[in-house]
Structure 1
Amino acid sequence: TRGLLGTGDPGLAAHLTAHGPLPAVADLAAAAGGLTGRGGAGFPTARKLRSVTDAARATGRAAVVVGNGGEGEPAAAKDAVLLARSPHLVLDGLHLAGRAVGADALVLAAAHAALPGLDRALAERGDGARVRRVDLPDRFLAGEESALVSVVDGGPPLPRTKVPPVRERGVGGRPTLVLNVETLARLALLVRGDDAGGHTLVTRHTAGPHGRVTDVAEAPVGSRLADVLPLAGARAVLVGGYHGSWLPTPVAAELALDRASLGSVGASLGAGVLAALPADRCGLRETASVMAHLAAQSAGQCGPCLNGLPRIAAALELLARPAPALPGLLDDVHRWSGLVVGRGACSHPDGSVRFVASALRVFAPELTAHAAGRCSATTSTPFLPVPGGAR
């Protein structure tokens, strides 16, 4: 594979030298093969293409295609790096998807920092009039499919109920295909005969001599997690980001980077984040810090999320302290979590609770130590990135 990040030069000339012109494709859904979405849910791309095509045909309204470059996940950087290094692969994929579903509107939504580079790429291609680019707000939920549609329509980044789905009624009330920017770039490689679907981008967080080291790598699907993320000295491993799962290091070391292997322990790659927590940090402290951020990022539309997540976050803050907690506090966290799951318009409460539940399992010995007034961490310097924190 030539890879998504291989050219090192974001310009159009370098792109064409590396990849050649975009070929004509009669059936993009067939060309997509087994490619799954890289935005977190892992939905089959071919099925998305066909469902939007069918919806457009049934309604008699032209479809809209939206490239989703929204990374509200603070620990994720893969989409930002991809847009900076290979914007023309993303734009190729956007045009391919637009032709496949008969779209008359193409949108590329990304964080503010990515827009100057996208503007340069659009100008190089003469695409400024054909592709509308949208500045996404810096909110955790801004990249959620229905919240993204709201922003494109000029509204706030608020999720909506799943009925009708975006594929039937999205931007401007029209059938809308939303694909992650990595998915679009992989389509652009697949139609050129590259085995792009067999690789995935991951954001890695590891401990370095001067603090956390963050980078983005392209890894073969099915490779050993331990070959992708250095695990030596790790207390635990976070897989999937802040809606993901903590895993004990020995368990993570035996897993492969694919849906079946990760799913066997209740995990998924999610936002493509892998983090090896250093042994000198407290997993409960890290989880409490992240959960406070997740609670603050609630859209405020659904009671269980609006009220439940702050309660859980406040309880975790107490449990993260090396001091006896209030009697029954841990039971309260489990009870509140059960009341939150499945009760929101989006998956934010479910993902947040999954993250917390995994922490309570993996760091159970630390809970016992904290209750006795001890903490095994030897530094209070935070590890995981949280906006507004000393990260």
Structure 2
Amino acid sequence: MPDLSVEVAGVRFKNPLMVAAGTPTIDSRAMIRCMEYGAAAVVSKTITFAEMHRLQPRPRFYVMHPESVDSGFYSLYSVELMSELSPEEAIEDLGIAVDYARRYGAVVVASIAGRSIDEWVKLSSMVREAGVSMVELNLSCPHVEAGEGVLMGKTAGADPSIVERIVAAVKRVVDIPVAVKLTPHGADPLAIALAADRAGVDLVVATARFQGLVIDVDSMKPVVWGGLGGYGGPWMVPISCSWVYKIVKSGVRACVVGSGGVSGYEDVLRFLMLGCRSVQICTAIIMHGFQFITRILSELDRWLASRGFSSVGDVIGVALPNVLDFEKLDRVSVYKSDIDYGRCVRCMRCLRSCFYEAIRVADGRPVVDHRVCVGCGLCSSICLYNAITLRRIG
């Protein structure tokens, strides 16, 4: 059986899976459930003094394309704010989760959000006293709007100088690893990661959700709660992976954690292969329940064993050398599409998708004209039956 344990900023995780701050970690009861189902680490719902961000709208969830939840082609649109508990109540509740984690070899991370440097410092000191193993700075909440002196959420998280100040202030008062969760919304996550790294951050989490707006065309109003919301889902994985790659490649000292759209063990592997040592998951647990944690870990274990890996650490960073810079992309080789008529069902998807008009119909089946085909690969990728392959001819 492969060894799934990893070291994350000097802390041992029994596996790479960390449940992100959100509904699955809304209180100690939920955090304990995550740990019971196998999560190596749980990040608490964000603790804040800002009362407006503790009052959850109801209802607050809207699933786009719910019929596709099982296949992973959905989006979750929601107003998921911070912990409804006061900081004092949250600290007491954290203690329950910490006690459980110590008995079962798991890690509790406290997510916090201040409105000023003083609040960031006070909250980080409070959660440290609760016995958590790490603190995560929520500089990515998509619901925090710009305002004079605002030092929280995506507003602060988009400004490298503010991020550097907050991280430096927190690092001065705690002796546990400090993480910063990056916003992809109106920001350059690489610039933010570099700023946090200069201030001595121990982990960067790339990335949180975007802000979105979904209009119901019949009512001509925003769906459900009537305003903007956080927007995420499996479609985010390639976006987050691109930022992870850039951050890791930049040479930051901090440990990198992948986050954003994870919906299966393959997504966990994608982040690990780009150099992440841990991967956060939230939306998929909301969609499938706590048992999804066990499922991902089981499938990850089977995949590693089937490929002959003795440890999950063996795959960390393996894809990095295989990512080509833009100027090194192959612009010389020549490819042509070939159709396997034993697999082809004559659906004509390839015909409709070929904008070079290199596919025509002959005797009721699609035929590739190699004189016109440019080898772009769209027909091969869009075929549902794996009936089209690209053949290199030069």
Query: The TM-score by the shorter chain falls in which range?
Result: under 0.3
TM-score, normalisation: structure 2? 0.25
TM-score, normalisation: structure 1? 0.25
Normalized per residue, the structure richer in strand is: 2
Normalized per residue, the structure richer in helix is: 1
Larger Rg, first or second structure (1 or 2):
2
